[in-house]
Structure 1
Amino acid sequence: MNRSFPPLFLFLLLIGCARNSEPTTVATETADDDWWKESIVYQIYPRSFQDTDGDGIGDLNGIIERLDYIESLGVTAVWLNPIYSSPNDDNGYDISDYRNIMTDFGTMADFDRMLAGMHERDIKLIMDVVVNHSSDEHEWFVQSKSSRDNPYRDYYHWWPAEKGDPPYRYSLFDAEGNAWKYDSTTDAYYLHYFSQKQPDLNWSNPKLRQEVYDIMTFWAEKGVDGFRLDAFQFAAKDTTYPEFPGLTDTTFIDYYAMQDGLHDYLREMNEQIFSKYGVMSVAEGAGRNFEDAHALVDADRQELNMAYAFDGVDVPKYGGYALTTMKEVFSRWDAEFAEDGWLSIFLSNHDQARMVSRWGNDSPEFRAPSTKLLNTFLLSMRGTPYAYYGDEIGMTNIDFDEIEDYQDIAARNGYTKARAQGKDMEQFMRELNFLSRDNGRTPMQWTEGPQAGFTTGTPWLPVNDNHAQINVAAQEDDPNSILNHFRQMTRLRQDHPVLVHGSYELLLPDHEELYAYTREWEGVRMLVVMNFSDEGVTVDLPELENAEVVIDNYESLSRTGSSADLNPWQAVILSL
Structure 2
Amino acid sequence: MSIAKTLAALVVVAALAGAGITAPPTATAAEASPPRAQAGEEVFYHVFFRSFRDSDGDRIGDLRGLTERLDYLEDLGITSILLTPLQPSPFYHNYFPTDFETIEPKYGTLDDYFAFVRGAHARGLKVYLDQEIQYVGEGHPWWTRSQGFAGAPFADFLLWRDAARTEAEPFLDRATWPHYDGRQIGIAMIDLNNPRVRDYFTRVLLFWADPHGDGSGRDGVDGYRIDHMMDDLDHKGVATDLFAGFWRPVFEALRARRPDFRILAEQADWGFGEDWLVRGDADLVFAFPLRGALIDLDKDKIVQAVRETEAITQADKGQIVFLENHDTDRFMSLIDDDPARARAAAALSLLLRGEPLLYYGQELGMRGITREDGMSDSNHIPLREAMRWSAELDAPGAAIWYRGDKPWWTEPANRAHDGVSVEEQQGDADSLLAWYRTLLALRQARPELRGGDQRLPCGDASEVLCVLRESGDARSLLLVNLGDAEARPALDATIADDRWIDLIDGGTVDPSTLSLAPMTVRILGTP
Instruction: Look up the match of 2:500.
Output: 548
CA distance in 2: counterparts of 1:558 and 1:412, whole angstroms? 54
Residue of 274, 278, 282 corresponding to 2:264 = 282
CA shift for structure 1 position 551? 3.8
CA distance in 2: counterparts of 1:53 and 1:33, whole angstroms? 30
SS at match of 2:102: strand
CA shift for structure 1 position 126? 0.4
Instruction: Look up the match of 1:305.
Output: 283
CA distance in 2: counterparts of 1:50 and 1:569, whole angstroms? 34
Task: Note the alpha carbon deviations across 1:448-476, whole angstroms, 9 max, x for none.
Answer: 13436542876545351165311112221
Q: Show the 5 A alignment for 1:509-528.
A: 510=460, 513-528=463-478
Q: Show the 5 A alignment for 1:316-395.
A: 322-337=298-313, 339-358=315-334, 361-363=335-337, 366-367=338-339, 369-395=340-366
CA shift for structure 1 position 446? 1.5
- The alpha-carbon distance between structure 1 residues 114 and 270, as it changes in their structure 2 partners (threshold 3 A), is same
Structure 1 unmatched ranges of 5 or more? 1-31, 172-177, 183-194, 242-255, 298-302, 401-405, 417-431
Task: Note the alpha carbon deviations across 1:475-534, whole angstroms, 9 max, x for none.
Answer: 212222221221121121122121232222123454784322211221222211112356
Cα RMSD after superposing both structures? 3.5
- The alpha-carbon distance between structure 1 residues 284 and 64, as it changes in their structure 2 partners (threshold 3 A), is same
CA shift for structure 1 position 170? 8.5
Q: Are residue 50 (structure 1) and residue 53 (structure 2) matched?
A: yes
CA shift for structure 1 position 160? 1.7
CA distance in 2: counterparts of 1:290 and 1:58, whole angstroms? 32
Q: Are residue 506 (structure 1) and residue 456 (structure 2) matched?
A: yes
Contact residue 531 and residue 569 of structure 1 kept, 8 A: yes
CA distance in 1: counterparts of 2:462 and 2:187, whole angstroms? 43
Q: Which AA in structure 2 matches 1:109?
A: D
- Percent pairwise identity: 26
CA shift for structure 1 position 82? 0.8
- The alpha-carbon distance between structure 1 residues 282 and 94, as it changes in their structure 2 partners (threshold 3 A), is same
Q: Which AA in structure 2 matches 1:44?
A: V
CA distance in 1: counterparts of 2:461 and 2:364, whole angstroms? 29
- TM-score between both structures, scaled by the size of structure 2: 0.78
Task: Note the alpha carbon deviations across 1:305-355, whole angstroms, 9 max, x for none.
Answer: 2222422234478xx674422331123102332634222211211111112
CA distance in 1: counterparts of 2:138 and 2:45, whole angstroms? 30
Residue of 121, 132, 137 corresponding to 1:130 = 132
Q: Show the 5 A alignment for 1:184-333.
A: 197-220=186-209, 221=211, 222-234=219-231, 236=233, 241=238, 259-278=240-259, 279-285=261-267, 291-296=274-279, 303-315=281-293, 322-333=298-309
Task: Note the alpha carbon deviations across 1:519-557, whole angstroms, 9 max, x for none.
Answer: 1221222211112356543434243455534445xx699
SS at match of 2:247: helix
Instruction: Look up the match of 2:122.
Output: 120
CA distance in 2: counterparts of 1:565 and 1:281, whole angstroms? 43
Q: Which AA in structure 2 matches 1:313?
A: R
SS at match of 1:274: helix
SS at match of 2:100: strand
Contact residue 49 and residue 443 of structure 1 kept, 8 A: yes
Contact residue 481 and residue 517 of structure 2 kept, 8 A: yes
CA distance in 1: counterparts of 2:460 and 2:134, whole angstroms? 41
Contact residue 50 and residue 399 of structure 2 kept, 8 A: no
CA distance in 2: counterparts of 1:338 and 1:211, whole angstroms? 31
Contact residue 78 and residue 124 of structure 1 kept, 8 A: yes
- The alpha-carbon distance between structure 1 residues 541 and 70, as it changes in their structure 2 partners (threshold 3 A), is same
- TM-score between both structures, scaled by the size of structure 1: 0.72
CA distance in 2: counterparts of 1:458 and 1:97, whole angstroms? 22
Contact residue 79 and residue 124 of structure 2 kept, 8 A: yes
CA distance in 1: counterparts of 2:132 and 2:290, whole angstroms? 23
